[in-house]
A and B are shown apart, each in its own frame.
Chain A
Amino acid sequence: MKRCQLLVLGAGPGGYSAAFRAADLGMQVVLVERDATLGGVCLNVGCIPSKALLHVAAVADEVKALSAHGLSYGEPVLDLPALRQWKSGVVGKLTSGLAGMAKARKVDVLRGDGRFTDAHTLRVTLGDGSAEDVHFEQAIIAAGSRPVALPFLPNDPRIVDSTGALELPFVPKRMLVIGGGIIGLEMATVYSTLGARIDVVEMQDTLMTGADRDLVKVWEKRNMPRFDRVMLKTRTVGADAAADGIHVRFEGEAAPAGAQVYDLVLVSVGRSPNGGSIGAEAAGVTVTDRGFIPVDRQMRTSVPHIFAIGDLIGQPMLAHKAVHEGHVAAEVAAGHKAFFDARQIPSVAYTDPEVAWAGITEEQARASGVAYGKSVFPWAASGRAIANGRDEGFTKLLFDEKTGRVIGGGIVGTHAGDLIGEVCLAIEMGADAHDIGHTIHPHPTLGESIGLAAEAFYGACTDLPPARKR
């Protein structure tokens, strides 16, 4: 039987970060991962490969747009196997880097499916079917989540989840995206640029739920040409696989009469935590009906020496949240007094334009009665955005009425995801409009829109028409 001070179950961003941090703090760590490579969903079948494809799509769209700016290329030639290879190369580079870093830290990586058998033992079923028990003093559960499947859909290779879509099996003529969240819309962007016509069906009354409407509207205005149908407040009720495609039936406000035929159907209706499939009960760890594992601010589960982090402790299911939680758990396990005290977890849709937000949204503020002040800098007044030919975006900051500190922000526009970091820092630091506005931002950049929005808040922005006297 293997013995270790700390066992980490799951080698996604949260898990490997926890394992590496604990190893750096002097603990002897075993990292259990069921997949062949480290990095979990994010690196292998999530954030990273989708960004590789989105990058290609964005460049393709930009090249096409260049013809209006005086530079034309010929029609693009798609080499699908080469594109897949590029994507796999990106993933491979990162996962092999992780493997090297695990080795350098002397983290013992064990490949297999792990299930707890008691509060100090994890049984790992290895690839060859044999089992190995690992005895641990403490453990961190980082087993992540999986895509939600719709049980009424037939089993057919043309019906895929995000993992299947990232494999780029072919470029469909007509594609249905079930679920208008970030994952579905990112994949819609890729497939649409590669030539597919897209329908999207969403049960809620808006796409990209969670983001403020004004941000989403900018994205919608630019992206509507990608879609034949955007079916809001509509549910998918059934599908039949036929030779000519998947026949899908809908019900609801925007449901078309009769079944629609698609070459490819992407199911992206959310992710479900894996807390229920790791034998956590055997260890005494409380798991909710839906598979979440409740934890406290130190990431401790109901069993004090077992921690949980990442997707399976709750929303939002984001890698950067898991990484921070992983560090907290590892530090607490190593005897430090660490806590998860973050004030904001940013969200980014890597669509085109990107939509990014951090801290409180206007919708949340209104719902919870937080008194806030708002300032918007439209990119139509940004020299850089105009020069880029992409001035449809805007930068928005929300301030606490009482303290004047920034409590939220949203950006829609190219590279919004890269820009939102400054807003994140400002929220964590408790910066107010003057702190941000009096920070000299480089010109001309998209980033200066954050400084200009702050200036606009206290009436000192000279790149906007004069503020109306209040």
Chain B
Amino acid sequence: MPDQNDPLLMSFARAAISRRSALTGLAGVAAAGLLAACGSPGRNASSSTSASAAPKAAEDLSDTDKVVNWSNWPEYIDIDDAGKHPSIEAFVKQTGIKVNYNEDYNDNDEFFAKVRPLLEAGQDTGRDTWVSTDWMVARLVRLGYVQPLDYANIPNLANLEPSLKDVPFDQGRVYSLPWQSGFVGVAYNPKATGGRKVTSVDQLLHDTALKGKVTMLTEMRDTVGMVLIEQGVSLAEVTADQFAAALAVIQEAKDAGQIKGFTGNEYTKPLASGDTAACLAWTGDVVQLRADNPQLGYALGEQGIPMFSDNFVIPNLAQHKKNAEKLINYYYDPKVMAAVADYVNYIPPVAGVKPILVKEDPEVANNELIFPSEAILAKAQVFRALSAEEETSFNRQFQAVVTG
């Protein structure tokens, strides 16, 4: 038997070498100018600054094909012990529209990389709606990849939280409606900080007791936003110089060995175990972490709080646009959103949810991180929309710090 394995394994090694010869050959081909011939000529975008490119609508199959394809982030909806989503089941029963619910939106950038080639080529993405973070909505609108929502199908829009009605990246909410919102704050594990409280970014970046045990977020606007606010800059009016100045503070802390890493959602486990002493964290995560580790501390900024929303959008050529709008409308019913908020612990964007939960689940209803007070909401700030050039430049500078 092993003798049969043997030549197979040897062939791996040979393959590694013949790959080299293949590449050598390829270099010759390249020299012949094949590159230019085969290279993609580039998309001569209709517009680089606004969505003047008319979004392309597909023939709407909603009435005949009772289906809606929805991509969402993992664990971002109510779920019961059987692994089903009660709110979706109720929608199916109520409307007869089947929901293909996919938790395949793990990361804004990765998801964008997945759908961009299709949208750029003017093809259907196979999805009728998905949930993108504010800045990604800004980019999708800028590139003309999403369609205006038909408010006639969304009468429950009247329940939208007033503070979310007008956002800088989508004036008048033409293209997007929020699914959930959250704050960015500082979280710490008293076990690892020696009992001391960590309440500000300044402390996070400069308290030597935390050296090498601090993480920040790979979400540029959240991480740099926290520092910007501490420097007294309004996120709605950030300039390139202010951005660079805030980034320099982070770079300095990183070079000093204060910052251990930049993470996505994976900061939660080390924080709970104490391997991370303090970090930037999202409110929904903190509520869930605290359920298991009540000793974890959390602080929202005194001067201002970066706020983000993840928003429904409908991509170009979605085949069931009306069904998607009906789905959005359904979740803008406070009773439905209450069931979701009770589970996901982020901030629901629908007015009238709190009174329902006061009766059903007072613990959630009284949690300031899920239902923030007026005073806290007044401090919430949203990062302004960036132009294409700014976005590239900011991203490049930020990644130079993250991977430098």
Check if A and B associate: no
Residues of chain A at the chain B interface (Cβ within 8 Å): none
